[in-house]
Copies of this chain bind each other. A is one copy, B any other.
């Protein structure tokens, strides 16, 4: 009794279900009187069409699948924030999947998303994923897919990413201009697209300012816990230790910050530190820390907009392309004297 169907209305009004259906969706060929009657009654009983029945019939769900490595990662939770907001306004629901950085789980998630008949898929690849044939298979079955942040160029989809090269270049340049010469780079697994781009930006800046690239200054992390301590120790033990750190994520930036504090290294007196972070995360960061801000929310919004475009105008699939969203460099010097007052 709690859920009222088109059938109940038909029975109550002594008309057929098809008439009710047509009235409800405002079909032109229908008696004004009947129409109003139906609408009024439906309104009164708070009739709500059953989307599941519709899904079954139309073989679509008005749901978008989102697969991310980890929700509890500030970048992704912000991206999802952007995604959900837009999707909601466009009448889509968001079903979240976490790959937990596991290829296997990512594949399982994709299968489940398919089973659920999502209308489209937004995905940021797990760090374990190098083979994208499972994704390609879905795509070939006609599932609209948009990649964001951690993307593969072996898969021909629209890709929405931050300007990782530009951001890394700006960060490195900033450190160089601050007089640093031995800039360490703490980053994430080397095979990820975003890692490569950031590394390239870092190297380009070094090159432009005539500083030799020293690969011993570059350290690759996993997404594990407490990994910065050993990295920092190793770097400090070098014959010629770093005088600055450029980290590739907020997690690494803060881990590095904490490690340096524990080792009684002052920032920015002994070393400088700058990290890749996210827009709101920047608020959360130590005010002494300069950051390269990634517009996570914007990336999510644009990704979902593109995806909905693909879903709704299948006829003219926009040619796959890579969209780079600019990053922003936030320099905080003002607090320097305070922190070390």
Rounded to whole Å, the gap between the CB of A119 and the closest CB of chain B is 12
Contacting pair B266 A338 (CB below 8 A): yes
Rounded to whole Å, the gap between the CB of A287 and the closest CB of chain B is 5
Contacting pair A141 B339 (CB below 8 A): no
Checking B81, B117, B261 against A338 with a beta-carbon cut-off of 8 angstroms, the contacting residue is B261
Q: CB-nearest residue of chain B relative to A341?
A: B266
Stretch with Cβ within 8 A of B (4 or more), from A15-23, A52-60, A122-130: A52-60
A108-142 residues with Cβ-Cβ distance < 8 A to B are 111-112, 114-117, 141-142
| Residue A174 is within 8 A (CB to CB) of chain B in the complex | no
**Across-interface contacts of A335 in B (CB, < 8 A):** 261-262
Count residues on chain A whose CB falls below 8 Å from chain B CBs. 63
Rounded to whole Å, the gap between the CB of A60 and the closest CB of chain B is 10
| Residue A268 is within 8 A (CB to CB) of chain B in the complex | no
Contacting pair B287 A116 (CB below 8 A): no
Rounded to whole Å, the gap between the CB of A16 and the closest CB of chain B is 21
Known: A96-B94, A254-B283, A281-B284. A340 touches B338 (CB 8 A): no
Return 5 A-B CB contacts under 8 Å, by A number. Answer: A50-B56, A94-B95, A258-B283, A258-B287, A262-B287
Could you tell me which A residues sit within 8 Å of B by CB distance?
2, 48-53, 55-56, 61, 63, 70-72, 74, 77-78, 80-81, 84-85, 88, 93-98, 100, 111-112, 114-117, 141-142, 250-251, 254-255, 257-258, 261-262, 264, 266, 280-281, 283-288, 297, 334-335, 337-341
Q: A95-B95, A261-B288 are in contact. List 7 more A-B contacts (CB 8 A).
A: A51-B115, A52-B56, A52-B117, A80-B96, A93-B112, A251-B284, A258-B287
